[in-house]
């Protein structure tokens, strides 16, 4: 649970950084907090990953898997519902921030990806363990 609280905090910081310190797109901020971010709540990222950590700690592996799948499926919906400007403007801002600092973008995406790998590893391990037990 603590691991995913830290992961959530890291993604919250990553979302803020991808927003170019408030001058760029808010897509990262919203996508990392999917599915809760469909509500537009600012602390969605922390809520999602804290909940995920709780589900793992409570051995609800099926629910944890469902939350991960909902995270991927609902991400485009959350972005669609919450983008601050027009699609095109947000997209151009995203391209601009990525071009300004490609290395940091890669590092942030690696943080996200490594957390996802860890999440799926624990979910699959938990599911197979409960099946054999």
Partner 1 sequence: MRQSVTTSITRLRLLSVVLGLCVSRCSVAVAQAQTQDTVIYYHTDAIGSVRMITDANGQVIARYDYLPFGESWAPLSNRDVRQFAGKERDAETGLDYFGARYYSSAIGRFTTADSAVVLSDTLQSPQRWNKYTYVSNNPMRKVDPDGRWERDVHYELTRVLAEAAGFGADEAAHIARADQFTDDNPATSPMGMLPFGEAVERRARWHFTAGPRRRELWTQFKSTGSFDDLGIFLHAEQDSFSHVGFSARFGQVPSFVVNGTDLKAVDKTAHKPERADAMARDTYAWLLKASGSRMRVHWSVLEPYVRRFNRALPGEKDRILEELERQIGDQ
Which one of residues 5, 101, 109, 122 is an interface residue with partner 1 (CB under 8 A)? Answer: 101
Q: Interface with partner 1 includes 82 (CB under 8 A)? A: yes
Stretch that binds partner 1, among 3-11, 52-60, 69-77, 97-105 (CB under 8 A): 97-105
Q: Interface with partner 1 includes 92 (CB under 8 A)? A: yes
Q: Is the peptide bond before 81 cis (omega within 30 degrees of 0)?
A: no
User: Which residue's CB is nearer to partner 1, number 49 or number 61?
Assistant: 49
Q: Closest separation between CB of residue 8 and partner 1, Å?
A: 15
Q: Where are the alpha helices (DSSP H) in 24-101?
A: 27-31, 44-57, 61-82, 87-100
C-alpha–C-alpha distance, residues 129 and 3, integer Å? 20
Which is nearest to 14 in space by CA: 127, 110, 125? 110
Dihedral angle of Cα 116, 120, 126, 132, to the nearest 10 degrees: -170
- Tokens linked to 44: 């969605």
Stretch that binds partner 1, among 2-10, 33-41, 109-117, 121-129 (CB under 8 A): 33-41
Q: Closest separation between CB of residue 53 and partner 1, Å?
A: 22
Which one of residues 36, 55, 56, 97 is an interface residue with partner 1 (CB under 8 A)? Answer: 97
First-residue to last-residue Cα distance in the chain? 23
Interface residues with partner 1 (CB under 8 A) are 16-24, 26, 29-30, 37, 40-42, 82, 84-89, 92-93, 96-97, 100-101, 104-105, 108
């Amino acid at each position: 649970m603590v691991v995913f609280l830290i992961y959530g905090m890291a993604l919250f910081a990553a979302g803020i950084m991808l927003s170019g310190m408030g001058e760029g797109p808010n897509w990262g901020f919203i996508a990392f907090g999917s599915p809760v971010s469909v509500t537009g709540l600012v602390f969605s990222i922390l809520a999602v990953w804290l909940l995920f950590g709780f589900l793992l700690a409570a051995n609800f592996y099926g629910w944890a898997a469902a939350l991960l799948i909902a995270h991927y499926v609902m991400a485009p919906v959350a972005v669609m519902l919450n983008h601050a400007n027009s699609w095109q403007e947000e997209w151009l801002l995203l391209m601009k921030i990525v071009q300004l600092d490609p290395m940091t973008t890669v590092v942030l995406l690696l943080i996200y990806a490594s957390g996802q790998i860890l999440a799926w590893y624990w979910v699959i391990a938990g599911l197979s363990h409960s099946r054999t037990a």
